[in-house]
Chains A and B, each alone.
Chain A
Amino acid sequence: MATTAVPAHPAPKGVSAYDEHSGIWSWIATVDHKRIGVLYLFTALTFFIIGGIEAVILRAQLQGPNGTLVSAEMYNQLFTMHGTTMIFLAIMPLSAAFFNFLIPLQVGARDVAFPRLNAFSYWVYLFGGIFITLPIFFKVAPNGGWFGYTPLTTPPFSPQVNIDFWVIGLQILGVSSLAAAFNFITTIINLRAPGMTLMRMPMFTWMSFIVQFMLVLAFPVITIALVFLLFDRFFGTQFYEIAAGADPLLWQHLFWIFGHPEVYILILPAFGLVSEIIPANSKKPLFGYPVMVYSGILIALLGFGVWAHHMFAVGMGPIADSVFALATMLIGIPTGVKIFNWIGTMAQGKVRYTTAMLFAIGLVALFTIGGISGVMHSSPPADLQQTDTYFIVAHFHYVLFGGSIMGIFGGIYHYFPKITGRLMDEKLGKIHFWLNFIGMNLTFFPMHFSGMLGMPRRIYTYDSGQGWDTFNLMSSLGAYLLVISTAIFAYNFLKSRKKGEVAGSNPWGAGTLEWSLPSPVPEYNFATLPKVSSRYPLWEGNEDDAESARINSQEGKTADELGIVLPYPTVKPLIVALAMVVMFCGLLTSRAVLFVGAAVMVFALYSWLTAPLEPEHH
């Protein structure tokens, strides 16, 4: 930041460092990983609420038989956007908020490896998210489901502009994820502090590290699948044109080669957060640390070999079905190992039930249920009965809501004091947890039954007398409960930023590096680069650890006083991101827009790459 230009005055205790030079400009031009993390957090929570509103409308429509709240067409748009929003605009970016905020702090770095690229990722995400979200307000939102199967999404069956928004929007969001992945891989490999060996890294950083590799390998595949669809829609190619001899399964294979790793991209960061919360609140190091690392790697590897279990119903034949069924069942093993290790961490520990801890335990319990129903339909004969029913909807909401979202909520409560310097209200937090836990189970548990009774996914209404009425009513009531619990969370979150109890550097008595820093963390993170000698430097470190923790916990020094060089703030990444989105908009409007966008993008990119990152060293 522009520390060089700002007069040096220490921030008073408990006042957010971001107030020091605040104002909208300081956020627009920021390249500070912590601020970008906060931007991700706020944006993704906003999209989480939008996706949630979409879900509640769906549940209101299905509350009783023959609902008439929305039309069939609107229903299609709502479920498509609910899935797309929650996956690409809420859970992934919420994980990215923690990648941004935590990875540099956990490995002992002053920022990510490429601060401006990091800002670029955020702005691409924001503009791409707006691009894909706006159409629903004009009733032209994507309507082909979140996995956009061809040939439904090809021009003969979906000639309108709806699917165009989806194809282009996902393409834009892919750029953001890939750029961020290159950045975090480099940060973790290259910016670890002295002594921070790979096997001393905090478990959140480890799980994030694995996720970045999955992103790098999985996203190009959907990029190409989307390019084919884009070309089919805009340039008349025949990739998905069955009449021309195209393989009807090409899209499904490409999509799920991306889509199944994506499932682990969504859950592993939450596993990482829980692996920080549980040791901190059990006063014990994580049980079986190396096994946790290896099981994470194994989940990622196996995750690339199970995509076709989403396709048992297409008739791939007994050999393919068996191979993918066995590979899928194998994933249950490393996942089970993780569950047992969390329980092992809590066992004989001094467990303290903070809100974050409740959410972490909630993840362990609910993800296990979702995991078990997953193992159920890893068997093709069972899957043939369950596929495309509400049983599947129940399953993936247990792993995504019960897993990812519970973990992320836990992470927010746990790390809120590090981000803002203040604690969230624990009393409201616990109310939030219990309403959320009950609401979540009330919504999704009955779906196992409605699914088993044959209720298909993605129908906008149903007749009574099929035994589905009560279960649907329960699910809808649960969804309303989730609205209340989320409103309590939002109130707590916004209120505690300004009025929460002042936290101090380590309110939970945790052992990892980020807790040695003042809360909120100064711009430069570490006054001195720490020397790390252990996995939990604050619990079991030697004198070096203690000495660097002592220096780093001191508050009030500016980067200038410490002689630390920080990158310049810049809006160039924002301009490149905006121009790129304008360029893509040109596909829908006119070539002139496309060329103007491309020209501005290239110009701004050159200007970015030729400008120095930070002041010269002296």
Chain B
Amino acid sequence: MSAPAAHHYTATGLDSRKIAIWAFIGSECMLFVSLISTYLIYKGRSIAGPYPHEEWVSPTGEHFNAILNIPVTSASTFVLLMSSLFMVLALAAVQNKNVPKHTFGDRLLGSSKLWLLMTAVAGTTFLGFQAFEFTSFVHEGLSIRTNLFGSSFFTLTGFHGAHVTAGVIWLLTLLSIDYRRGLGPNDALIVDLAALYWHFVDVVWIAIFTLVYLIK
């Protein structure tokens, strides 16, 4: 990522990495489309509970609550959405590194370290929520082996979580580069690539939150 930008001729004038990341995001779309479609196809097909939105009483008389906890996940969704805002601020801060800053507000908005850190923290918070969610679901009797809902839910959200994890590592890598040598306008591209990925992962979560959590 910190490889020096090659100043070769390109047909579009864009850096090649920018085109490659879009191609990568295109393939990621198909990955999540396959996962989400499977979840939706399997919705309501589980022979035994627990279920996402309804209570369930097992043949042995055990009582299971509806699994999905929408208030908690709304909070984690909000945190993740905010992280996209932080990411935008981080990129802007890197791009405008050389613009003189006069007020405290200027310096605050212009701190790429702060906003990269905030983005990573928000991502980590989201992952913390997900870890809490997963453990509490397991305690309530839903694991990845329990039924089709469990298999498709944990695989879908787990894949998303893995993407967020990769994103957090990416952001922390950028942060460490920022501490080592400082990120300036010449590095805007490598931050931009991370930002595109981060926003994509965020958008996917909006789709998952709507289709999996909100629609009953």
Identify the A interface with B (CB < 8 A). 110, 113-114, 178, 181-183, 185-187, 189-194, 196, 216-221, 223-225, 227-228, 231, 235-239, 243-247, 250, 254, 529, 606, 609-614, 616-617
Contacts and interface: CB of A to CB of B under 8 A. Distances in A.
A231 B155 contact: yes
Contacts of B48: 244
A114 B17 CA distance: 9
Given A231-B155, A245-B46, A238 B145 contact: yes
Interface residues of B, number: 41
Given A246-B45, A250-B41, A225 B34 contact: yes
B100 interface: no
Contacts of B144: 231, 235-237
Q: Which 8 A-B pairs have the closest CB atoms?
A: A224-B34, A237-B151, A220-B30, A220-B31, A113-B16, A236-B145, A192-B11, A245-B47
A182 B24 contact: yes
A613 B2 contact: no
A223 B148 contact: no
A245 B145 contact: no
A617 B23 CA distance: 28
Contact of B148 (A186, A231, A245): A245
Given A190-B10, A190-B16, A236-B144, 10 more contacts: A185-B23, A189-B12, A216-B23, A224-B34, A238-B151, A239-B151, A247-B41, A247-B45, A613-B3, A614-B6
B19 A611 contact: no
Given A235-B144, A238-B151, A254 B34 contact: yes
A194 B34 CA distance: 39
A194 B4 CA distance: 24
Nearest to A236: B145
B7 interface: yes
Contacts of A246: 42, 45, 148
A610 B3 contact: yes
Nearest to B30: A220
Interface in B125-155: 144-145, 147-148, 150-152, 155
Nearest to B44: A245
A6 B23 CA distance: 37
B12 A219 contact: no
Classify the interface of chain A: helix, strand, loop or mixed: helix
20 contacts: A182-B27, A190-B10, A190-B14, A190-B19, A191-B8, A194-B11, A216-B23, A218-B30, A220-B31, A223-B34, A224-B31, A227-B155, A228-B38, A238-B147, A244-B147, A245-B147, A246-B45, A246-B148, A250-B41, A612-B4
B79 interface: no
Given A247-B42, A250-B41, A610-B3, A196 B34 contact: no
Contact of B16 (A178, A191, A245, A617): A191
B180 to A, nearest CB: 11
Contacts of A245: 42, 45-47, 147-148
Contacts of B147: 238, 244-245
Contacts of A250: 38, 41
A244 B47 contact: yes
Nearest to B177: A610
A194 B10 CA distance: 9
Contacts of A236: 144-145
Interface string B24-53: 101111110011001001100111100000
B176 to A, nearest CB: 11
Contacts of A220: 27-31, 34
Nearest to A185: B23
Contact of B26 (A183, A217, A613, A614): A217
A190 B12 contact: yes
Nearest to B31: A220
A276 B77 CA distance: 53
B10 A239 contact: no
Contact of A219 (B10, B27, B35, B173): B27
A194 B20 CA distance: 21
Given A191-B16, A244-B46, A245-B45, A217 B27 contact: yes
B104 interface: no
A190 B11 contact: yes
B9 interface: yes
Contacts of A193: 11
A613 B6 contact: yes
A617 B7 contact: yes
B151 A231 contact: yes
B148 A244 contact: yes
A110 B9 CA distance: 11
A185 B20 contact: yes
A587 to B, nearest CB: 16
A611 B30 contact: no
B145 A235 contact: yes
A192 B8 CA distance: 12
A124 to B, nearest CB: 16
Contacts of A225: 34
A217 B6 contact: no
Contacts of B14: 190
B1 interface: yes
B38 A182 contact: no
A186 B20 CA distance: 6
Nearest to A612: B3
Contacts of A228: 38, 155
Nearest to A184: B23
Contacts of B35: 224
B26 A216 contact: yes
B194 to A, nearest CB: 12
A220 B26 CA distance: 10
Interface in B86-123: none
A221 B34 CA distance: 6
A183 to B, nearest CB: 7
Nearest to A235: B144
Nearest to B190: A609
A113 B14 CA distance: 12
A223 B23 contact: no
Contacts of A617: 7
Contacts of B151: 231, 237-239
A606 to B, nearest CB: 8
Contacts of B6: 613-614
Contacts of B16: 113-114, 186-187, 190-191
Nearest to A606: B173
Given A220-B27, A228-B155, A237-B155, A610 B1 contact: yes
A613 B17 CA distance: 13
A231 B45 CA distance: 19
B162 to A, nearest CB: 11
Contacts of A609: 1-3
Contacts of A239: 38, 148, 151-152, 155
A553 B4 CA distance: 32
Contacts of A616: 4
**Which of A183, A187, A245, A617 has the most chain B CB atoms closer than 10 A to its own CB?**
A245
Contacts of A612: 3-4
A189 B11 contact: yes
Contact of A224 (B4, B38, B42): B38
A181 B26 CA distance: 11
